[in-house]
Amino acid sequence: MPVRLDRPSEHPNVALVTLDRPEKANSLNLSMLRDLAVAWREIADDDEIRCAIVTGAGERVFCSGMDMASTIPISQRFARGERVDDDDFEGLRSVATALLAGFDLRTPLVCAINGHARAGGFDMMLASEIRYAVPQATFALEEVALGLYPTGNATVRLPQQVSWVHAQEIMLTARPFSAARAEELGIVNRVVEPVQLLPTAFETADAIAGNAPIAVRETRRGTREILGMSLEEGYVRQETIGRELRKTEDAMEAQRAFVEKRRPVWKGR
């Protein structure tokens, strides 16, 4: 399967999504777009999954974006009003969800960038909370070089995540840049050797999954909401979320566990 969703038994409550089409630079054809959208929806709907990891197969590319050779002819036929088969239509309709553009995963996402992240691969990465990359990875948003507007996550999320001038340089020049530069800009958390990439991602995912699930989910949601608010609105919103969390069984269990000097047992309620 070009998109694999695994639940490793040694990592409870963690899901691993792998883009497995290395012979085509893990580019996204219509079938992969459909399957990726299905995987993200499954993760979002499963409260037992407390953290997810996404990576690419192979040692060269994380994701090179869309498979233009296969997707453009079908999208052009659809734009002309010609009939496309149901599977292809579902693939076209799945683009935004597959790239996590406007789709809320509800679950923290760790991106293990095993190689080049270009175009849609870059967009998908921008939707993640935490990112690790191998030294040979490169990054680029190349839409303007193709006469296109970056309609994934770039113009929405990139200026929130790096300074304005760096976001504009990345988007307007379309020039690739290195993993070291990505770390310098804060686009990735850390550059690690390939042999340590997935172990590092799982270590972080396990740490997240080991915390109170409602608190993790609401902290992720709250910070995303508050990002677009004024300071006054943000403080009001965080107190509203915090007040509700203080009433949960998990919050009371954490207090009991502290007093009893043991690890809390989370109920997710």
Where does a domain end: 209, 228, 247? 209
Q: Which helix (H) or strand (E) holds 244?
A: helix 231-245
Q: Does residue 160 sit in the same domain as residue 236?
A: no
Q: Does residue 178 sit in the same domain as residue 224?
A: no
Q: Does residue 145 sit in the same domain as residue 193?
A: yes
Give 90's pLDDT tier (boundaries 50, 70, 90).
Answer: confident
Q: Do residues 205 and 51 lie in contact, with contact meaning Cβ atoms separated by under 8 Å?
A: yes
Q: Which helix (H) or strand (E) holds 264?
A: none
Q: Does residue 204 sit in the same domain as residue 217?
A: no
Q: Does residue 217 sit in the same domain as residue 105?
A: no
Q: Does residue 217 sit in the same domain as residue 130?
A: no
Range of the domain at 239: 213-260
Say if residue 87's pLDDT is above 80.
no
Q: Torsion-angle region of residue 187: left (phi > 0), alpha (psi -120 to 50) or beta?
A: alpha
Residue 264, pLDDT score: 84
* Domain contains 265: no
In this structure, the chain runs to a length of 269
State the total domains in the chain. Answer: 2
Q: Among 83-97, 119-133, 197-211, 232-246, name the one with the lowest average pLDDT.
A: 83-97
What does the alpha-carbon distance between residue 63 and residue 20 come to, in Å, rounded to a whole number?
10
Residue 25, pLDDT score: 94
Q: Does residue 144 sit in the same domain as residue 179?
A: yes
Among 30, 36, 81, residue whose Cα is nearest residue 55: 36
Residue 255, pLDDT score: 83
Say if residue 89's pLDDT is above 90.
no
* Domain contains 253: yes
| Average pLDDT value for residue range 45-50 | 95
CA 93-94-95 angle, 5° bins: 100
List b or e across 74-102, with b for residues whose CB sees 16 or more CB atoms inside 10 angstroms.
bbeeeeeeeebeeebebbbebbbbbbbbe
Give 209's pLDDT tier (boundaries 50, 70, 90).
Answer: very high
Give 106's pLDDT tier (boundaries 50, 70, 90).
Answer: very high
* pLDDT, tens digit (0-9, with 9 covering 90-100), for 129-177: 999 999 999 999 999 998 989 888 999 999 999 999 999 999 999 999 9
CA 181-53-267 angle, 5° bins: 130
* Domain contains 254: yes
Where does a domain end: 209, 228, 251? 209
Say if residue 93's pLDDT is above 80.
no
* Domain contains 268: no
Q: Does residue 151 sit in the same domain as residue 226?
A: no
Q: Do residues 224 and 218 lie in contact, with contact meaning Cβ atoms separated by under 8 Å?
A: no
Q: Does residue 112 sit in the same domain as residue 170?
A: yes
What does the alpha-carbon distance between residue 177 and residue 245 come to, in Å, rounded to a whole number?
41
Where does a domain end: 186, 209, 232? 209
Distances (CA, A) of 179 to 65, 101, 135: 18, 23, 6
Cα dihedral angle (261, 199, 191, 173), rounded to 10 degrees?
A: -110
Q: Does residue 250 sit in the same domain as residue 225?
A: yes
* pLDDT, tens digit (0-9, with 9 covering 90-100), for 2-27: 999 999 999 999 999 999 999 999 99
The mean of the pLDDT values for the chain is: 91
Q: Does residue 223 sit in the same domain as residue 194?
A: no
Q: Does residue 224 sit in the same domain as residue 198?
A: no
Residue 152, pLDDT score: 87
Residue 78, pLDDT score: 61
* pLDDT, tens digit (0-9, with 9 covering 90-100), for 114-131: 999 999 999 999 999 999
* Domain contains 126: yes
Residue 74, pLDDT score: 67
- Read off the CATH number of the domain in which 240 is found: 1.10.12
Q: Among 181-185, 202-206, 225-229, name the one with the lowest average pLDDT.
A: 225-229
* Domain contains 226: yes
| Average pLDDT value for residue range 181-202 | 97
- Read off the CATH number of the domain in which 154 is found: 3.90.226.10
